[in-house]
Structure 1
């Protein structure tokens, strides 16, 4: 059987990694773009992402959360796979803006959570950590305890430090160099 992390790296490089100058959400310029949704919405890619994240999560984690839109397929994959494995982790999605009608909430899926549940926050890519900190603030404000933050790609551009300063630990499946090495079949 193949190495799941190396296979995921191959898919990410094939579907999600684009070299060339781009402007990121943060406003910064970069020499590459990482569109994780292309891999996360691929059947095998979604399975591998869900499996690898689920393997990283401590057993005391009781649910997963993430900011829409990048984390939507990630939290869904982890939740579904956790059910198959008998772990049953619910997922919630953090809105960028409050719904504006009905319950006017920032978090969707809260009927599956109770106050004080321990959750992991998932993200596709971390650059400065700004949107991830917003997601964490909203999850904490909803009464959930954040045990850690996990991402597919840490761009190593200050996000990890910003999260640490706010009291959160970040675990990444890959940095850029690790992704490129794993995609070539090297161990990471």
Structure 2
């Protein structure tokens, strides 16, 4: 898996990681910006993310993966495909930012593929404060499912892990900033 992480780190460094002066969605200022969508929408990047997330989840008691649209859409889709190939299918759930304005008016898409009470791991591209993934968790749980943890591509190590822990959720990350920078140059 180390070779896959190195390959992913190189693609992330090329397509998704920028240094400079940025304001994040959380409102915090940062000396770098991480736009994982650029890599998650790249053919090899998407495949690598799916492989690495699946590897983190394959031995866990999990029935599905979910995440907040738009950032998590390619993440949950890649894991669903890889999980099917590996013989341990994990359906994908997508959490809307706003409830659907027509039809059933639901926040969560993909519920026909899971049963009430089943366990879900949330997937996130980047965790800073944990705010958006906590909102997604609340919506998944309101739909009758049980969230058992969170996986992210990048943990910015800026309080998100602690905020999730406070709510009872563990965070597993593929990279921290330091690991990403080191492996992209390996």
Q: Same fold (TM over 0.5)?
A: yes
Instruction: Give the Cα–Cα distance (whole angstroms) in 2 for the partners of residues 59 and 152 of structure 1.
Output: 18
Q: Which runs of 5+ in 1 are unaligned?
A: none
Which aligned pairs between 1:20-99 and structure 2 lie closer than 5 A?
A: 20-57=20-57, 58-99=59-100
Q: Unaligned regions of 5+ residues in structure 2, if any?
A: none
Inter-CA distance 46–131: structure 2 relative to 1 (3 Å threshold) = same
1:59 Cα offset (Å): 3.9
Q: How does 1:104-115 map to 2 (within 5 A)?
A: 104-115=105-116
Count matched residues.
185
Which whole-Å CA distance do the structure 1 matches of 2:107 and 2:144 have between them? 13
Report matched runs for 1:130-149 at 5 Å.
130-149=131-150
Deviations 1:69-113 (A, max 9, x none): 111000000001111111111011000110111100000111111
Asked whether 1:6 is paired with 2:21, we answer no
1:183 aligns with 2:184: yes
C-alpha RMSD of the superposition: 1.2
Return structure 1 stretches of 4+ with deviation > 6 angstroms.
none
How big is each residue's C-alpha offset from its partner over 1:38-74, in whole Å with a ceiling of 9 and x where there is no partner? 0000000000000000000034211100001111000
What CA distance in whole angstroms lies between the structure 2 residues aligned with 1:36 and 1:2? 19
Q: Distance in 2 between matches of 1:80 and 1:59?
A: 18
Look up the match of 2:18: 18
Shift of 1:2: 7.8
**TM-score for both structures, normalised by structure 1:** 0.96
Question: TM-score normalised to the size of structure 2?
Answer: 0.97
